[in-house]
Amino acid sequence: MTMTPSDRAERELKNLEAVAGNGLLHRRAFLRGGAALAGAMTGYTLVPSASGQQLADDAWSLVPGVTVPDYGTRSRFEKNVVRTLSNPKGEPRTQHARTPHHLLNGTFTPNGLHFVISHAGDPDIDPDKHRLVIHGLVKQPLVFTLDALARYPMVSRMAFVECGGNSAPLFSLEPIQASVQALHGLVSCAEWTGVPLSTLLDEAGIDPKAKWIVVEGGDPPHVSRSVPLAKAMDDAMIALYQNGERIMPGNGYPMRLLLPGWEGNMNTKWVRRIQLTEGPGMTFYEARTYAPVLPGGKAYRFYFIQEVKSFITHPSPGLALKGPGFYEISGIAYSGTGRIAKVMVSADGGKSWAQAALQQPVLNKAFTRFRVPWRWDGGPAVLQSRAWDEAGYEQPTRAQLVAARGETTRVPAVTGFPSQHYNAVTSWSIERGGEVKHVYA
């Protein structure tokens, strides 16, 4: 007896182990290979079978193509993959550009799509004229040109940068209907290359009285933040390259401070001054904007770490499901304290959970892509992800976070009400027609 494709699919289907409600499958199913998996879910294959005539000779296959450009840009068909801008006319206030996570995949953010927050636009810095000064409680103050810095031993590492205000819309009383880009677009991940800050501080000679550094940018507001010396000596970097090329103007060209895992605002762009001090500077941004206020009226003085977090990018609002059957649920997880240890995914609003496959390599303080095989039966479902890091921290539920930190009708609130460090679970509801909505579950 010969097996038909549907017999085979039937048998495969029996082998696929549902491990949680609403059709979440064991991640082991991926080991079967994508085609077998997708085929088993749909009965056949996801696409119609091909015949020779279906390969048409379109114009591009008949005449020579365009001249190879000296700097490559993406296909003209990808022009919709862009950041969204909060201040497109560049009025004299903060500008935000948000990463379109629902249109990307993998773990690092292309340079042109890395999120940007610039409090007074992106300065047009001539790299030959830019200087970095290290002074204060040091034996020998030093001034570095870009050329001088380029002669030090460099290191590369993947690291995410996240604004403390990312995801602030989720502090609102009602779920705001918006894309993952609008809700979580103020986080990105890149490979950064540069000189360890410890090398430069050692060379300047640290006075034992020094416990902090106050770091200043070369943009007009001279954005300044204080960083404990221990972090500066641990994994801080003066970054010169972003995904292999010089840092983008919006991300700090020609140099920025990188503090892996710490609040975005502390990662001073266009860095020009590092002063070693006994105490923190209590600068504008740390004394006001980035001092989250608690429901009782107390405030965090500093909130350094971007805590463990995850969200589902596929599917997500704007990416509607096209009929029942197989889907891969995937998203991003990261933690400012270390590596991601585990991500669990629910399709029934948190009643039951399946463990996601973590795409290797799982790197310290960098994006980890997680994936779960899912068979959507066409009925209502609520998708959630929840991450744990290697230090044992677990991503809170929204109820847990709101109990500790409050919620607000003022969104996006700038200060005074909760508007910083939302790292709780995000929920996407799948409606009957396949549309995806933001809900609180």
Please, which residue, 311 or 376, has the CB nearer to ligand MTE?
A: 311
Please, which residue, 115 or 334, has the CB nearer to ligand MTE?
A: 115
**Integer Rg of the chain from CA:** 24
Taking a C-beta distance cutoff of 8 angstroms, is the pair 280, 226 a contact?
A: yes
**What residues pair up with 241 in beta bridges, in sequence order?**
193, 246
Q: How far is the CB of 163 from ligand MTE (least distance, A)?
A: 3
d(CA 427, CA 329): 13
286 binds, among ligand MTE, Mo ion, none (CB under 5 to 8 A by kind): none
Q: How far is the CB of 117 from Mo ion (least distance, A)?
A: 5
Taking a C-beta distance cutoff of 8 angstroms, is the pair 187, 426 a contact?
A: no
401 binds, among Mo ion, ligand MTE, none (CB under 5 to 8 A by kind): none
User: Which position's Cβ is nearest ligand MTE?
Assistant: 217
Q: How far is the CB of 259 from Mo ion (least distance, A)?
A: 13
Q: How far is the CB of 161 from ligand MTE (least distance, A)?
A: 5
223 binds, among Mo ion, ligand MTE, none (CB under 5 to 8 A by kind): ligand MTE
Q: Give all strands (DSSP E) within 204-339, no chain letters.
A: 212-217, 224-228, 237-242, 245-246, 256-258, 271-277, 309-314, 325-334
Taking a C-beta distance cutoff of 8 angstroms, is the pair 156, 421 a contact?
A: no
Please, which residue, 94 or 352, has the CB nearer to ligand MTE?
A: 94
Please, which residue, 268 or 427, has the CB nearer to ligand MTE?
A: 268
Q: How far is the CB of 285 from ligand MTE (least distance, A)?
A: 7
d(CA 170, CA 94): 21
Quickly list DSSP for 320-384. ---SSEEEEEEEEEE-TTS-EEEEEEESBTTSS-EEPEEPSP--TTS-EEEEEEEEE-SS-EEEE
Q: How far is the CB of 252 from ligand MTE (least distance, A)?
A: 6
CA 239 to chain centre: 18
Strands 116-118, 132-136: pairing kind: unpaired
d(CA 20, CA 345): 9
Taking a C-beta distance cutoff of 8 angstroms, is the pair 385, 374 a contact?
A: no
Please, which residue, 119 or 184, has the CB nearer to ligand MTE?
A: 119
310 binds, among Mo ion, ligand MTE, none (CB under 5 to 8 A by kind): none
329 binds, among ligand MTE, Mo ion, none (CB under 5 to 8 A by kind): none
User: Which position's Cβ is nearest Mo ion?
Assistant: 163
Opening angle at CA 362, ends 356 and 363, nearest 5 = 145
116 binds, among ligand MTE, Mo ion, none (CB under 5 to 8 A by kind): ligand MTE
267 binds, among ligand MTE, Mo ion, none (CB under 5 to 8 A by kind): ligand MTE
Q: How far is the CB of 263 from Mo ion (least distance, A)?
A: 7
Please, which residue, 262 or 374, has the CB nearer to Mo ion?
A: 262
d(CA 232, CA 204): 13
Q: How far is the CB of 262 from Mo ion (least distance, A)?
A: 11
Please, which residue, 44 or 304, has the CB nearer to Mo ion?
A: 304
338 binds, among ligand MTE, Mo ion, none (CB under 5 to 8 A by kind): none
Please, which residue, 81 or 319, has the CB nearer to ligand MTE?
A: 81
Please, which residue, 195 or 266, has the CB nearer to ligand MTE?
A: 266
Taking a C-beta distance cutoff of 8 angstroms, is the pair 102, 313 a contact?
A: yes
418 binds, among ligand MTE, Mo ion, none (CB under 5 to 8 A by kind): none
Non-local (6+) Cβ contacts of 69 within 8 A are: none
Q: Which residues bind ligand MTE (CB under 6 A)?
A: 114-119, 161, 163, 217, 219, 223, 250-252, 264-265, 267-270
Q: Which residues bind Mo ion (CB under 5 A)?
A: 117, 163, 264-265
d(CA 233, CA 186): 26
Q: How far is the CB of 209 from ligand MTE (least distance, A)?
A: 27
